[in-house]
Amino acid sequence: MESIRILEKYSAPILIGLSVALMTWAVTTAGGFGPMLSTPSQFGIGMPKEGQFWSVFWPAVTANVGYWATLSLNIPDFTRFAKSQRDQVLGQALGLPLFMALFTFLGLAVTSATVVIYGEAIIDPVQLLGRMQGVLPICISLFGLMWATLTTNIAANVVAPANAFVNCAPKYITFEAGSFMTALLGLIMMPWNLVSSTHGFVNTWLIGYSALLGPVIGIVMSDYFLVRNRQLDIDSLYSTGDRSIYWYKNGWNYAALWAILIGVLPTLPGFLATIGVVSGLPAIFAQLYDCAWFVGVAVSSVVYCLLMRGAPGAYQSGAGTQGGLGGPLPAPQAA
């Protein structure tokens, strides 16, 4: 993890500098911000996608939320190294939204500039590099593209699954071994097929797994903020059996399992229709699937809170008794 921290620490300013250089190229080549940002909306009156804004907006929002859904679940892999609660709050509140917004604007602005420069919108960085002139700019751009891909994938796609492999057999699997296992699994998944088309990447992959992760996040948030009232028993988090108040029923929290299942069900028909398994479904299922993450969070949160009402220790400060799908839960203690 220390090597990853160092890599990310020094890669950030390099990538920011290269991004500024790309924006500078786009502005100067397109003749300024005016022409660069003058491309009319495709959803405007008389344009090819007139009246289709909302049908594109919600899937796009869900896909962007789903893009961060994985990191939102495994962010403790990084925040646990913060020196204080204030540091991790500031790091996430300022670092993630601010730079995500800036890089989003960069992508939109440069894509809009390609319409002015080349007469067509080029969204693929590799295709854009193929249009550029000069060996040095192309080499620098290729370096930036490879560096960004490497650092982003290590932080967002390697750390969490590598830790998951380690947790499966900590006596035998190291973090390095887990990282190689993750890389191998990534190759087996053939990710190039996922990004071969915009529809497949956004509608099938991003929205598809957000339909699964939404219920998980809903359970985590509702359990911590509503059921537990932000109280955790630290000793129980690292204990098993009757010593842990989080052992539930033989180590299984059936309330959470039911909440995940029920949270996925509303968006499952839309997913099956998207991948071509079923057809002829009512439009409501497609609309639910377009908002899969939000639907999953809402449904699973409500179901989980209802099922946990019978569990001792939930929604109260005193000790409880046996009951509820969550299993035996003595009152949680403040950490």
Cα distance between residue 237 and residue 333, in whole Å = 12
Name the residue with tokens 């296992």: 181
Position 100, amino acid:
M
What pLDDT, on a 0 to 100 scale, did the predictor assign at position 312?
56
What pLDDT, on a 0 to 100 scale, did the predictor assign at position 297?
96
Query: Per residue in 139-157, pLDDT tens?
Result: 888 888 888 888 877 777 8
Q: Which of 153, 152, 150, 113 is nearest to 33 (CA)?
A: 113
Mean pLDDT across the chain, nearest whole number? Answer: 84
- Confidence class for position 306, pLDDT limits 50, 70, 90: very high
- Confidence check: pLDDT of 49 > 60: yes
What pLDDT, on a 0 to 100 scale, did the predictor assign at position 323?
37
Residue extent(s) of CATH 1.10.4160.10 domains in the chain: 1-42+52-188
CATH 3.30.43.10 fits 1-42+52-188, yes or no: no
What pLDDT, on a 0 to 100 scale, did the predictor assign at position 166?
93
Answer for the pair 330, 320: CB distance below 8 angstroms, yes or no. yes
* 78/318: higher pLDDT: 78
* 102/285: higher pLDDT: 285
CA dihedral over 307, 308, 312, 316, signed as positive or negative: negative
DSSP string, 76-133: HHHHTT-SSHHHHHHIIIIIHHHHHHHHHHHHHHHHHHHHHHHSS----HHHHHHH--
What are 215's two structure tokens?
């219920």
What pLDDT, on a 0 to 100 scale, did the predictor assign at position 289?
95
244: left (phi over 0), alpha (psi -120 to 50) or beta: beta
